[in-house]
Homo-oligomer: A and B are copies of this chain.
Amino acid sequence: MAGATAPRRSRITPEREAELYGAVLDLLREVGYDALTMDAVAARTRSSKATLYRQWGGKAELVVNAIRHDKPVEIGDIDTGSLRGDLHALTSRDDDCVMEQNSALMRGVAMALHQNPDLRQAFREQVVEPEMTEFRRVLDRAVERGEIRADCPALDFLVHMMVGGFATRTLLEDQPPTRAFLSSYIDAVILPALGVPTTS
């Protein structure tokens, strides 16, 4: 996925790219989006700012690519043979500790999205829309298997349901989403809304 981005990044090796993205995410966790500077990324990764700008164009694109690169598995590649299996496999990829770190990171990014239209656009185009396409692959297979009716109205709202579980848990309940929480939420909300029995 990360390798399939814009051609101007082709001169960087995948290893170097992974190292750069890792440093960007570390900085994002440490100081947040607003305080993250291209100078700091350059210093941390021993690159020149000119290189960073040439390769990524700017801070928003660099950060969004780092977030996108951090997702090791394409959602649509998870194929356990049932929708319930796929969704539970999705939440089991990370342990609770990683999930808490990611949740803190994404909470910070959500705040930055609010205040930075350029970040919002890059995030929507390069993270949200590709993820929605991936989720759609998972759902399409469930429709083909006859698990979900093709005209089920909840098909359009999977991302809304998922975000609701994450965001409410994090912000209103002041708790990180755990695997146990997400499992309950999938069985209690997402599968019933899609008309899929949870006891299969």
Q: Is A97 an interface residue (CB 8 A)?
A: no
Q: Which residue of chain B lies nearest to A32 when distances are taken between CB atoms in the complex? A: B115
The yes or no answer to A124 lying at the interface (CB within 8 A) is yes
List of B residues within 8 angstroms of A167 by Cβ: 163-164, 167
Q: What's the dominant secondary structure at chain A's contact region? A: helix
CB of A11 within 8 A of chain B? no
Specify which of A165, A169, A172, A192 lies most central, judged by the most chain B CB atoms within 10 Å of its CB: A172
A107 within 8 A of partner (CB): yes
Whether the Cβ atoms of B188 and A159 lie closer than 8 Å is: no
A2 CB–B CB distance under 8 Å:
no
Which of B120, B168, B174, B187 is within 8 Å of A163, CB to CB?
B168
Instruction: Pick out which of these stretches binds chain B: A12-20, A74-82, A85-93, A149-157.
Output: A149-157
Chain B nearest Cβ from A26, distance in angstroms: 20
Q: Across the two chains, which residue of chain B brings its CB closest to A192?
A: B193
Given contacts A164-B160, A167-B163, contact A154 B189 (CB under 8 A): yes
| Nearest-Cβ distance from residue A103 to partner chain B, whole angstroms | 12
Closest Cβ neighbor of A190 among chain B residues: B193
The contact of A111 among B115, B156, B189, B190, by CB within 8 Å, is B115
The verdict on A168 contacting B172 (CB below 8 Å), with A189-B193, A195-B192 known, is no
A170-200 at interface with B (beta carbon < 8 Å): 171-172, 174, 184-185, 187-190, 192-195
Interface residues of A (CB under 8 A from B): 107-108, 110-111, 113-115, 120, 124, 128, 153-154, 156-157, 159-165, 167-169, 171-172, 174, 184-185, 187-190, 192-195
